[in-house]
Structure 1
Amino acid sequence: MIDVVITGRENAGKSALVDALNAVAPRGPMSFREWTEEDGDGVQLPVVVMVFDAAGSMGSTELAELRRLNANVDRVVFAITKTDMHQNWRQVRDRDAQLLAIHTPRFTAVEIHPIATPLVQASNDRRDTDPDAARALAESAGIEALYEAIRAELPAPGADYVARNLLWSVTGALQEARAHRQRLSREVQNNPEINRLHRVRAELLRNRGAGRSEELGSLRSDVQLARVELGHDVAEWARATSAATRAEIDALGGSAIESYPARVRSLVRAGLSENDQRVGDRIDALWSARSISQPAAEPAAEESDTSDAASSRVASSGAALPAAPRRGAEDYVMVLIGASVGVGLGRLVVSPLSLVPVLEILTIPLTLLLGGAVAVWMMRIRRQIAARTRLREWTTEQLLDARGKMERSVGTRIVNAEQQLAAAIGGRFDEKVAATDSDVRQIEVELRELTNHRDRELATLATEASHISEAMDRGLRFLEDARPAAD
């Protein structure tokens, strides 16, 4: 007689099922009992009945039991009890079938027999009074159908079911080994270091030349602003200096006119020096704003200093006040006009003397003397007016020349500074690009090494998994093809 073991979670109706199955054929080829600790992992058992409870889907207890049966027992029959107590037992059975297919693919599409053990007693009670009702109740109980299903799974006489169980154990171990290698393959494939290096490489390449155009655009804007503001400063200096010199020239007199050119030269030198200082400060600000060290020698500044020194020498030597023009006809006309005016004024002044006979003789000399003095005074007045006019024209020319030199200095030095800054910015970004390329090459070397190592590991794991799969397939084919049937 073959022992058939019933297993499942507590309170699943196992003991009632054991009694019902044993009552079907007391002298039959099978005896039924519950699982005990002496059964161990079940490798010595020919057939095992796994019982589910219709009260709810299987849980962790049933899943653990299923894994043990899947790995150690060749033939397993499934049943679900308490179908008479729960109307939704079909949904619970379908859910249990899905879980079986997910967690133990070997048991996919197996039949789960519905069992209602209380109907067995009801069937026995009506066997004598109502045989048809008793037969219907017995069929609803499902005990006989389960009994026949278990009997169909009995090993043939002389069959080594223990060896088949052991083969299932080996197959289960191979399955676990293959699953382990598949997990390792996924972990190796999803190498975090390789993924990190790919992200770092992509970030480096994305930022490789970033900022160059923005930096150069900002430089052009700042240079244009500096050029405009410095031009305004030069124009403002020219307007202020011109107004000041006009007012000073209008107030000059006598010898002060001759010494005023030195004052103009001093103003020009001071203006050129202030302009150089302003330009230098703006250029320094352009360099400092970009955190770039300014070259030790600035060619534009040296050129400007040289030109300014030359202009200073020209202003102090060659650009002297023009000499007074030679006397012309207009000067003589002014003398005649002054003399006539003086004679007329003299006659008016000395006319009272003619009333005194003694002084009448002095009227003519005094009249002539006064006329000559007025003529000389008018000549001097005209010469001062002409000298102021010449001084204004000369001063205007000097200021215009100084303004031109300032504007040329601003343009030359700003352009040179822009070129140097653009070259420095380009050089800095070229160094950044070179450093980025070097980092990318180093990362690519590391990626190649890691990728090659990963590919070797994946190839090894794939080979092992393939060999394990072949061994599993051979074992499963043997278990399926060489499975003896019970008599």
Structure 2
Amino acid sequence: MALLDTMTVAGNNGEVRLLGPDDANTTLLRTELARFAPRIDLSAPSADLAGAASGSGSVTMLVLDAGVVIGATEVDLVRRLSAAGSRVLLVLNGTHAHLDWQSVRDRSAELLAAAGLDCEIVPVSARLALAARTAADSALLDRSGLASLHARLAALTTDTTTVDTRRSAAAAQVVAQTLDRIAQEEKLLAAGSEAEMLRAERARLLAERDGGRAVAVSTLRAQLNLARMDLLTQVGHRVRALHAEARTELDRLDRAGRVRFPERLRSAVAALTDTVDRDIAARLTELRARAAAAGPGAPDRAPVYRHDPAPTLGPDPQPRGRGVEDHLMIVVGASAGVGLGRLLVSPLALVPALDVATIPVTLLLGAGAAAWVVRARRQLADRDHLRQWVVDAVANVKAQLEQRAVTALVEAETELSDEMVRSAADRMLAVDRRVAELETALRRATSGQPGRLAACARDRQILEQWTPDSGN
């Protein structure tokens, strides 16, 4: 009807000048547009926008990409063409490849209006027109926008001497296309294809109503269990390595080093905590990536890991108290020293004059040996006492690090599960609305099928009786 209405408007006859890139998309646009009647004569595409305004032509079609807003160069070109008396028609080609083509069209229209230019913008897709012709789909042809572009060009290039001729050609084309559409509609109605498609789509939506939440939650739980096992194994391995290193260092320390050892162990635990935190953060990132690949119900961002303070070792080791072992070692040391002293001075006992002098020497040697044994025993006891403190402290650190990892995983599970539930709830709501629309359309298609078949038969009979001389 838009094409027939344009046939009554007098315009300027002549060739339409085509400005745009000389590429495959423009070639396909020219090819598909040439299949419409009446035929529109298009010039060869010219990409020279700088000298375009100097050429002749009463109608100019400027082809732009549907994904790019009109620029200052194109606005200036439209201004110069309009000043030269040419009617400019902007064509956004490739709408099938750009979902935001409407916003691009609106923004381009705002820029043209701001420049004081009255220029029509027509969105088209030559590839959709090709697909519609291949599949004989009239609805897809309407979506391509080629028919609207052809009607607009026909209105701009029709003159009063060719109105009747072009009107007859256009009417014949419209009647042929309408008969094809009626035949397609009758075929669909007779086969019940529309109702079947509606039922199939409703069944598919109901099957996917949860938005993939069940699959995503199951995958998330499996990955969480695997992450928990891996993190606890890593924590145990790192803590054992820390314990072995601490024991080796403790065996080499002297008394002054043992005093400073607790502070050095705290520094090692802080470094170990940083390593474990990096392991946890990396695991959460990997967990997010695997959850995202599980299905559409997965969250769209990684869980936030909050770093807690490093684990504490507890109080420093208390001074070791003296017990029965220390007193026993004094007696054992003195006894051993006296025996060693008597052994050493036994040759002097053979001399009667030196027999009395051996007694103080024996006592001095016994006291010295006792002091050495007691000192050595005290060092060993202090080392064992510090080693036992290290065992307890490392066990405490291991428990805190394991709790740290498990807590991070539990918080991540809670956060990811909440996001999955919210995402699935939004999808379920949208699916419910769509299912309600499908059920309404299904009832309408089922109840109105006989009437639509009768209307198609009546319209087809009327169009089959049409002749070019019969008028409207």
Q: TM-score, normalised by structure 2?
A: 0.49
Choose 1 or 2 for highest CA Rg: 1
